[in-house]
A and B are shown apart, each in its own frame.
Chain A
Amino acid sequence: MREQQLQDILRHMPAGVATLQGPELRYGFVNDAMQAVLGSPITEGQSVMEQPGIIPADLLDVMQQVYQRGQPYIAKAYCLPLADNNDGTTAPQRYYDVALEPVREGGSQVTGLLLFAMDVTGQEEARQRTHELAIETRRLDTRLRVLTETVPQITFTVDAAGTYEYVSPQWHYFTGQPTTADLNIIWPLLIHPDDRLRVLYQTEAARSAGVGWSYEYRLRRHDGQYRWMLSRALPELHAPDKAVFWHGALTEIHDQRELAEVLRRGEAELRFLADSIPELIWTATAEGFIDYYNKYSGEYSGLSGEELGPAGWISLLSPAEQAGAARRWIHSVATGESYEGLYRMRRHDGRYRWHIIRARQLTDARGLRWFGACTDVDDQHRLRQVLQTQYDELARTNRDLDTFVYTASHDLKQPLLNLRGLFDELRRTASFNDPQEEEIVVMVDDALYQLDLTLQDLAATVQDQRGLSAPAEPLDLRSVTEEVLLGLRTQVQESGAVLELDFEQVPTLTYGRANLRSILHNLLSNALKFAHPERTPHVLLRSTLADSGNPILIVQDNGRGMILPEEPAPVFQPFTRQHPQIGGAGVGMYLVQRIISSRGGHLEVASVIDEGTTFIIHWFDALNA
C-alpha cells in the first residue's frame, strides 16, 4: 500500500524520475514527466545502452561511470535535444538539471541508478539573456568611453556631495594637470578668480535644488590663458526628487564669445552711427516687417518705434501716396528688388516734407535683411517745382508769342495786299518824270516784295513748329482737356482747384488739335491764374449745342472777374493785361479770339468783378460748318 502511494507521488512529480537497473541500465520505473522528456515510449526492461533514444553519448558515458564508481553526479543545465516534432520541424532546445544517484539494494554493491531530470529551461534562458546583456552593457560602456574620450568636450560626473567622480581625459589635456592631480582641489583653483565664486555658488545651488545647470566661465588652460567655457550638466534621478549624480560637459566657447562680442560691439557702433545721422534709417526682416527705427525716425515723426510698428511707416506718408507705396514695398519683398520712391512724409508737427525712400536687401551669414533710409529732399523738390512752374510759364509765353507772330503775319498780309494794290494803282495812274523817281518806284516794289516774303517766311516757320495750320480732325474733347490739365497739374494742385468737366452732350469736335489745345490752355490757365484769393477756384467746362444747333463750349470760373473792353462786341487786344500784378505776356486772349475767328467762329464773354467770368466759344457760326 505504501509502495503504491510512493509510486503515485513519483508518477505525478513535475520532475522526471526513472530507475535504471543492472549494468545494462534497464529502465525500471519511469514516471510521466520522464516519459515526456525522453519522447519515445519506454517499456520496462529496455536498456538505455542499447536504445538510448534522445540521450546523447556523453550522458550515457557518465551514467556508466556513476554506476561503476558508485558516486552521484549532477549535470547542471544540461541540454537535451528534444525529439523532433511530428511535422519535421526542430523542437526548441530544453535544459535540465540531470541528477544520477547510484542505488545500492541490500549491500554495498551498486545495482542501479536513480535518474532525475528537472526542467530548468526558463532559468537557463534567463541566465543566457543576462549574459548577453552583460556583454552588450560592456560594449556600450566601451562605446561611451570611446565617445567621451574622443569628443572635443570635457565630460564629467559629480556626485550628490559635489565631489567629482569622473572627468574625461580631455580635462587633463586642456588644463595640463597630471592624472594624479586631485580634481576636487585643483579644479576650483583653475577657474578665473572673477568667476570662481559665481561658479561655485551656481553649482551648489543647482545641486541642492536637484536641477541641471548651464553657465559660462573662464578656465585656465595649460598655457596659462583663461578660456571661456560653457558648463552644462543634468541630474541623474534615482527617484523623482532624488538626484544622485550630475553628468555634464564643458565646451570651449571662447572664439564664439569673442566673435559675438565683436558683433555686439559692431552692432552697437552701427546703431550709434545710425542714431547720429539726421535721416530716417530702419531695418526690416526678410518678410518686410520693420524691426528697427533709428533715433531720428522718432524725432522726425514724433512716434516711438513701438507706436510705428512693423508697417507703421506707411501711415506717415501722405494719404494719397500710401496705397502705391505699400504696393511697391510688397513687390520688393516678394521679388527682392530694391525699393525706391519719392513720397511726402508727415513730420511731428503735421507738415509733410518730400522724402526719397530707398531700401536694399542684404544677405549674409545671419540671413536676409532689409536696410532702408528716407532722405529729406523737400527743399530740392520745392525748388524743382518752382523751376518747373517757371519753365512751363516761359514755354507757354514762348508758344503764345509764336502764335502771335503767326497770326500777326497773317493779319499783316491783308494790309500788305492792299498796299500793293494801291501802289500798283498809283503807278498806273500817276506819271513820274524824274528818272530818280523811277528808281524809287522799283525800290518800293522791291521792298513790298521783300515784306511779303518775310511775312510768308515768318508764318511758315512758326506754323511748322507749332502745327497751327494742321487740318481739322475729330477730337475727343475730354482727352484733349485732360492732356492740357496734365500740363497745368502744378497750378491745379497748388490752388486746390475743383474742375468739373461735362462733355456728355457734345463729346467730339472737328478742329485743329494744336489750336484746340492752345484755346483750352489759355482759358484754363487764366481761370486758375485769376482765381479769387478768398475762395477755392471752381472751373466748369461744358460742351453743348447752342440754339442754332452749333456746338459751343462754356468755360465758367468763380475768379476775380474783369472789366470787358468795348461792349457789345468785346475784342481782346494784344499786350493788354487785366491784372498787371499777375504774370503773362498779355497775348493769350488775343490769340484765342484770333484762332476762333480764323476757324469761322466767335468768342462771347461775360464777367462780373469779384464773381467770375464765363466764356462761350461758338466754334462755328455758319450752320454745318
Chain B
Amino acid sequence: MIHIIYISRAVRPLSDQDLQGLLAQCRRDNERNNVTGVLFYSHGNIAQLIEGEAETLNPLFEIISRDGRHSNVNKLISKPIGARSFPDWSMAFHPLEPNGFEALQGFLLPTHITPPPSSLTIADAMLLDLVKLAVFGVEPLAPKSI
C-alpha cells in the first residue's frame, strides 16, 4: 500500500457545481477502487492525499495529473505505508452556498478538518498540515468572498 500527496492549481476557479460533481464522481470511483484520502480546495488551490494499492494508485495519479481542470501538479510524496489513515474519501472546501452541502456524504467544511491521524508518521502529518496551510492559508476559519 502507498500514499501520494500532491498540490496543484485549478485552471479556472471551480464552482460549487464543479466541486459537487467532482465529489460525487470521486466518491463513486474511489470506493470502487478502494482508494481513500482527502482533498482540499480553496480559491483555485488544490491539494490531495490518496492512499491505496500501488497498482491502482499510480495509474490513478497519472489520470488525475493529466486532468484538464488543474495544472502545475506537484507530487510531493509517494511512498509505502503500513496502513490507511483515512476511513473513506472526503473533500474539504468553502462552498459559496453552503446550505445544501452540509448533508453531502464526504463533504467537509475546512473548519471541520480533523488533525492528521496519528497513524501517519510525524513527517507525513506535518506535510499534510503544510499542504493544508498552502491551500487554505493561515485562517481556514473565515470563508473569504471571491
Q: Does B124 contact A (CB under 8 A)?
A: yes
Q: Judge whether B130 and A287 touch: CB under 8 Å.
A: yes
Q: Known: A289-B76, A309-B77, A334-B138. Contact between A314 and B130, CB under 8 A?
A: no
Q: Does B127 contact A (CB under 8 A)?
A: yes
Q: Judge whether A330 and B123 touch: CB under 8 Å.
A: no
Q: Does A315 contact B (CB under 8 A)?
A: yes
Q: Does A310 contact B (CB under 8 A)?
A: yes
Q: Known: A310-B127, A330-B126. Contact between A315 and B121, CB under 8 A?
A: yes
Q: Does A277 contact B (CB under 8 A)?
A: no
Query: Which residues 259-295 of A have a CB within 8 angstroms of B?
Result: 287-289
Measured CB to CB, the nearest residue on chain A to B138 is: A334
In the bound complex, residues from chain B placing their C-beta under 8 Å from that of A287 are 7, 130-131, 133-134
Q: Does A572 contact B (CB under 8 A)?
A: no
Q: Known: A288-B130, A330-B130. Contact between A310 and B76, CB under 8 A?
A: yes
The size of the chain A interface, using a CB distance under 8 A, is: 18
Q: Judge whether B76 and A309 touch: CB under 8 Å.
A: yes
Query: Which residues 4-31 of B have a CB within 8 angstroms of A?
Result: 7
In the bound complex, residues from chain B placing their C-beta under 8 Å from that of A322 are 122-123
A344 to B7, CA, bound (A): 31
A283 CB → nearest B CB, Å: 15
Query: Which residues 100-146 of B have a CB within 8 angstroms of A?
Result: 121-127, 129-131, 133-134, 138
Which of B79, B121, B129, B133 neighbours the largest number of chain A CB atoms within 10 Å of its CB?
B129
In the bound complex, residues from chain A placing their C-beta under 8 Å from that of B76 are 289, 309-310
In the bound complex, residues from chain A placing their C-beta under 8 Å from that of B129 are 326, 330
A424 CB → nearest B CB, Å: 77
The size of the chain B interface, using a CB distance under 8 A, is: 17
A73 to B81, CA, bound (A): 97
Q: Does A162 contact B (CB under 8 A)?
A: no
A interface majority secondary structure: helix
A289 to B133, CA, bound (A): 11
Q: Judge whether A326 and B122 touch: CB under 8 Å.
A: yes
A304 CB → nearest B CB, Å: 13
0/1 interface trace, chain A 522-552, chain B, CB 8 Å (1 if under): 0000000000000000000000000000000
Q: Judge whether B122 and A314 touch: CB under 8 Å.
A: yes
Which of B125, B126, B127 neighbours the largest number of chain A CB atoms within 10 Å of its CB?
B126
Measured CB to CB, the nearest residue on chain A to B79 is: A309
Query: Which residues 319-352 of A have a CB within 8 angstroms of B?
Result: 322-323, 326, 329-330, 333-335
Residue from the list B7, B123, B125 in contact with A312, Cβ < 8 A: B123
A243 to B7, CA, bound (A): 40
In the bound complex, residues from chain B placing their C-beta under 8 Å from that of A312 are 123
A113 CB → nearest B CB, Å: 70
Q: Does A447 contact B (CB under 8 A)?
A: no
In the bound complex, residues from chain B placing their C-beta under 8 Å from that of A335 are 138
Q: Judge whether A311 and B123 touch: CB under 8 Å.
A: yes
A289 to B127, CA, bound (A): 8
Q: Judge whether A315 and B123 touch: CB under 8 Å.
A: yes
Q: Judge whether A315 and B133 touch: CB under 8 Å.
A: no
Residue from the list B79, B121, B126 in contact with A329, Cβ < 8 A: B126
A335 to B137, CA, bound (A): 10
Q: Judge whether A289 and B126 touch: CB under 8 Å.
A: no
A314 to B116, CA, bound (A): 15
Q: Known: A309-B77, A310-B77. Contact between A315 and B122, CB under 8 A?
A: yes
A38 to B43, CA, bound (A): 67
Query: Which residues 424-465 of A have a CB within 8 angstroms of B?
Result: none
In the bound complex, residues from chain A placing their C-beta under 8 Å from that of B123 are 309, 311-315, 322, 326
Q: Judge whether B122 and A334 touch: CB under 8 Å.
A: no
A68 CB → nearest B CB, Å: 75
B114 CB → nearest A CB, Å: 16
A278 to B93, CA, bound (A): 45
In the bound complex, residues from chain A placing their C-beta under 8 Å from that of B7 are 287
In the bound complex, residues from chain B placing their C-beta under 8 Å from that of A330 are 126, 129-130, 133
Measured CB to CB, the nearest residue on chain B to A329 is: B126
Can you list 8 A-B pairs, Cβ within 8 angstroms, ordered by A? A309-B79, A310-B127, A311-B127, A312-B123, A314-B123, A323-B122, A326-B129, A335-B138
State the 8 A-B residue pairs at the shortest beta-carbon distance, nearest first: A326-B126, A311-B127, A287-B134, A322-B122, A314-B123, A315-B123, A288-B130, A311-B123
Known: A311-B77, A326-B129. 16 other contacts (CB 8 A): A287-B131, A288-B130, A288-B134, A289-B127, A310-B127, A311-B126, A311-B127, A312-B123, A314-B122, A314-B126, A326-B122, A326-B123, A329-B126, A330-B133, A333-B133, A334-B138
